[in-house]
Amino acid sequence: RFCPATRQRIQRPHYQGSMAVSAAENIGTLYYLESTVYKAQKALVAAKFNGIAIKEAKFDPAKDLKKPDFIAKNPTGKVPYLETDMGVVFTSNAIARFVARCRADTSIYGRCFDDEGQIDTWLEFCTHEVEVPLMTWVYPVLGLMEDIPEATKAAQEDIKGVLAALEKQLSSTKYLIGDFLTLADITLVCALREGFSRVFEPAFRKPYPKACAWFEGCCAMPQFKAVVGDVKLCVKAEAPKPVKKEEKKEKKADAKPQGDAKPKAEAKPKAAPKAEPKAKAAAAPAAAPAAGNAELDAKIKAIGDDIRALKEKLKGEGLSGKKINDHEKIKELVANMQALKEQAASAPAAPAAPAAAPAPAAAPAAGGADVEAEIKAVGDSIRGLK
């Protein structure tokens, strides 16, 4: 390849200060979530092609997020992340780039400067054009996010566009940037694997024969097999599953008040011990208003689940922090939750007039406090997840 300005050949540079890594040398520990292992597999496959060893460690949010050194060494809190002797590298594509660049004597990150530009182009394509719509479609199948039919349908159309773009490119080249495999192929194959194995039915794949042949050819390579195993193409698209996190979150919320499991982060979790309000509710002579509060409590939990699911989706789309909180739908759900909270606080006062409940005045303290505790628990869960 040649520089467009000087027309002189540009060789791939050996970066000053880069790691001089020998084959099979362990470069660090890669922490990843098992539910989204495809993100870590990008770097792990690249490491196989480069002859580099990486120690793997599954990240458990319930335990590892509480470790005092986690944010100290990884301030963004993003997973996966690669911990090396020189520091931490986070986000899947950044880690994959790091691994690919560890050795300048291989062609995984291209053979010249122009190759690197082409590879970076496909990596950006992978992040924004592939992973966002594909995970909107696949995450509900994995039980990681609520299924929204309209969003899934839109995502399916976006993926058709992705496969059409790959089909066009692979009509003239064996791999994405030429006649040799690079990190561009690795990242896209890893990102598309869940789609090909879970939701891309034969009829969906049929218009894209070259893209399918490229995918299968890459997966058949020993370096891919060593990481992702034998990949079988989807015969019938899997249906969405219930969100797995709901049960875990409820158990976590129940556990928090009992042992003050999260006292160090903020004062708020300490202020929401569920055990005391429930004990008062049991001791109160009037249990009638509790049913109404239970319904409101269930509604608040449902909205909390919707908020978590939407935040997962927005995070997958590349939003974070304030942008997620300022999203119109998030603000609407939070407003609905606040309205239910106010309704819960005022609802027990109304039954006092009919005199149907033996002691309506005693219940609001228990019901209101219980709802307060639930709202705070949901807030803690959102902060922990973010």
Residue 194 CA to residue 231 CA, distance in Å, equals 9
Residue 203 CA to residue 234 CA, distance in Å, equals 10
- Taking only the tens place, the pLDDT of each residue in 6-63 is 444 445 544 434 455 555 568 999 999 998 999 999 999 999 999 999 999 999 988 8
Does residue 355 or residue 70 have the better pLDDT? 70
Say yes or no to pLDDT of 356 above 60. Answer: no
Mean predicted confidence (pLDDT) in 322-332: 79
Query: CA nearest 82: which of 21, 26, 29, 20?
Result: 29
Query: What confidence tier does 74 reach under pLDDT thresholds 50, 70, 90?
Result: confident
Q: What is the full DSSP assignment across 102-117?
A: T-TTSSTT-SBHHHHH
> For position 347, what pLDDT does the model report?
56
- For the chain, the domains span 26-102, 113-228, 301-342
- pTM of the full predicted structure? 0.61
Q: What is the mean pLDDT of the chain?
A: 79
Mean predicted confidence (pLDDT) in 123-129: 97
Pairing verdict, β 26-32 and 53-58: parallel
Mean predicted confidence (pLDDT) in 194-207: 98
Residue 28, judged by CB atoms within 10 A of its CB (0-12, 13-18, 19+), counts as buried
- Here the tokens at position 344 are 């819960």
Contact 32, 80 (CB under 8 A): yes
Kindly report the CA angle at 216 between 210 and 221, in degrees rounded to 5?
Answer: 130
How many Å from the N-terminal Cα to the C-terminal Cα in the chain?
A: 44
* Matching fold, domains 26-102 and 113-228: no
Instruction: Find all residues with CB under 8 Å of 152, minimum gap 6, and list them.
Output: 136, 137, 140
Residue 366 CA to residue 285 CA, distance in Å, equals 12
Asked if the bond preceding 80 is cis, omega within 30° of 0, the reply is yes
Query: What confidence tier does 225 reach under pLDDT thresholds 50, 70, 90?
Result: very high
Mean predicted confidence (pLDDT) in 188-216: 98
- Burial profile 95-120: b = 16 or more Cβ within 10 angstroms, e = fewer: bbbbbbbbbeebbbbbbbebbbebbb
Say yes or no to pLDDT of 349 above 80. Answer: no
Residue 343 CA to residue 296 CA, distance in Å, equals 8
Mean predicted confidence (pLDDT) in 91-117: 95
Contact 136, 151 (CB under 8 A): yes
Question: Considering only the top CATH level, what class is 26-102?
Answer: alpha beta
Say yes or no to pLDDT of 235 above 80. Answer: yes
- Here the tokens at position 292 are 């109404």
The pairs formed by 197-201 with CB atoms below 8 angstroms and a separation of 24 or more are: 197/231, 197/232, 197/233, 197/234, 198/138, 198/141, 198/142, 198/234, 198/237, 198/238, 199/137, 199/138, 199/141, 199/234, 199/237, 199/238, 200/233, 200/234, 200/237, 201/234, 201/235, 201/236, 201/237
- Identify the CATH number of the domain defined by range 113-228: 1.20.1050.10
Residue 177 CA to residue 105 CA, distance in Å, equals 18
Tokens 């694997």 sit at which residue?
Answer: 193
Query: What confidence tier does 383 reach under pLDDT thresholds 50, 70, 90?
Result: low
